[in-house]
Amino acid sequence: MKVAMLGATSGMGRAIAQRLAARGESLFLLGAHEDLLAKSAADLKARHPQQRDCRYAQCDLEHPEQFAAALDAADRALHQFDCVIVTAGMFATQAALEADIELTRRLLTVNFANTIVFCEHVRKRLLARGGGRLVVFSSVAGDRGRKPVALYGPSKAGLATYLEAIDHKFHAEGLSVLCVKPGFVKTSMTAGLKVPPFAGEPGAVADQVIGAIDRRRAVVYAPPIWRLIMFIIRQLPRAIMRRIGI
């Protein structure tokens, strides 16, 4: 595969990049911070000598005007990518978001509007070359309106709906979409939060996601137990959701 990754500088994205690099896929890194991109590319080269020319370009989800140029750079380096993986995203606690309306606006813009705009650039390119893989991280937080994720959740729900829709619409044309819905995973994004039962590790999630890419799955919950947990939570009546804190 020739893979462009947005968000491979940290967390689950980084774990996926390490595994893809180890199996010899060609990688190109996209992200908001040049210094972190440079270090991450150097790391992939040092750990995996076959990744001699892993390159990168700046692509900030808060700056949609950068998207086209960044994807051009990826296309040039990879001689046309056939897979794009988006792990980039923003998180803030419900308390922080409620206290800061500007933070809320930024998070909704990055996770929803701009991620979808980015995916639209990718979709057009992939369809023009006969199809390819688009892998995007939504969240279990989008599966049901819940108190602790009342603002973050909808940004991921909107994203998941978009991914489902383009899967329906363009699957026949060769676009294969994977929507990843992580539960709680121990990364710097969730550092400091109370760790719930069934928390996952980024490495295990990465293995699961790569398995799902290989098997051309459309949706994957990670760790898998979260599919069941969310199924149950979706069944809970509104009267109960109003009373409990989950």
Partner 1 sequence: MPEPKQIEEPMLSGWGRLPVEGSEQISEDLEKITRGAVLTRGLGRSYGDSSLPASPNDSVACSRLANRILSFDEKTGVLRAEAGLSLADLLAVFMPRGWFPPVTPGTKFVTLGGMVASDVHGKNHHREGCFGAHVRSLRVRLADGSIVECSRADHSDLFYGTMGGMGLLGHILEVEFTMQPIPSSWIVMESERVANIDEFLSALSQSAPTWPMTMGWIDCLSSGRAMGRGILMAGRWAEPSEAPPAMPKAPHPHTMPVDLPNWAINGATTRLFNTAYYWRHLRRRAHTVLAPDPFFYPLDAILQWNRVYGSRGFTQYQCVLPREAGPEAVREFMARLTKLGGASPLCVIKDCGAEGRGTLSFPMEGTSIAVDMAVSPQIQRIVDNLNEFVIAAGGRIYLTKDRFTTAAHFRAMEPRLDAFQALREKWDPGRRLKSAQSVRIFGDRE
Ligand X SMILES: NC(=O)c1ccc[n+]([C@@H]2O[C@H](COP(=O)([O-])OP(=O)(O)OC[C@H]3O[C@@H](n4cnc5c(N)ncnc54)[C@H](OP(=O)(O)O)[C@@H]3O)[C@@H](O)[C@H]2O)c1
User: Who's near 69: CB < 8 A, 6+ residues apart?
Assistant: 57
Site membership for ligand X, residue 34 (CB under 6 A) = no
Site membership for partner 1, residue 246 (CB under 8 A) = yes
**What tokens appear for 222 in the block?**
């990670």
Distance separating alpha carbons of residues 194 and 191, to the nearest angstrom: 8
What would the x/- binding string for ligand X be over residues 116 to 145, using CB under 6 A?
A: ---------------------x-x------
By CB under 6 A, the residues from 92 to 121 that bind ligand X are: 110
**What tokens appear for 183 in the block?**
């539960």
Given candidates 172, 191, 232, 239, which one binds partner 1 under the rule CB under 8 A?
191
Q: How far apart are CB 230 and ligand X at their closest, in Å?
A: 11
Choose between 35 and 102: whose C-beta lies nearer to partner 1.
35
Residues that bind partner 1 (rule: CB under 8 A) add up to a total of 28
Q: What is 2-43 written as a DSSP string?
A: EEEEESTTSHHHHHHHHHHHHTT-EEEEEES-HHHHHHHHHH
Angle at 209 between CA 207 and CA 210, to 5 degrees: 65
Measure CA 232 to chain center.
24
Segments in 23-151 forming alpha helices (H): 34-47, 67-78, 94-99, 101-108, 115-128
Is 79 in a helix, a strand, or coil?
coil
Given candidates 18, 26, 51, 87, which one binds ligand X under the rule CB under 6 A?
87
Site membership for partner 1, residue 104 (CB under 8 A) = no
Residue 246 interacting entry, from partner 1, ligand X, none, C-beta within 5 to 8 Å by type: partner 1
- Is residue 97 within 8 A of residue 105, CB to CB? The reply is no
- Is residue 161 within 8 A of residue 138, CB to CB? The reply is no
- Is residue 46 within 8 A of residue 88, CB to CB? The reply is no
Residue 150 interacting entry, from ligand X, partner 1, none, C-beta within 5 to 8 Å by type: none
Site membership for ligand X, residue 31 (CB under 6 A) = yes
Distance separating alpha carbons of residues 84 and 87, to the nearest angstrom: 10
Site membership for partner 1, residue 244 (CB under 8 A) = yes
By CB under 6 A, the residues from 186 to 245 that bind ligand X are: 187-190
Site membership for partner 1, residue 58 (CB under 8 A) = no
Residue 128 interacting entry, from ligand X, partner 1, none, C-beta within 5 to 8 Å by type: none
Q: Which spans of this chain sit near partner 1 (rule: CB under 8 A)?
A: 9-11, 14, 33, 35-36, 39-40, 42-43, 46-47, 93-95, 147-148, 188, 191-195, 243-246
Q: Which spans of this chain sit near ligand X (rule: CB under 6 A)?
A: 7, 9-13, 31-33, 36, 60-62, 87-91, 110, 137, 139, 182, 184-185, 187-190
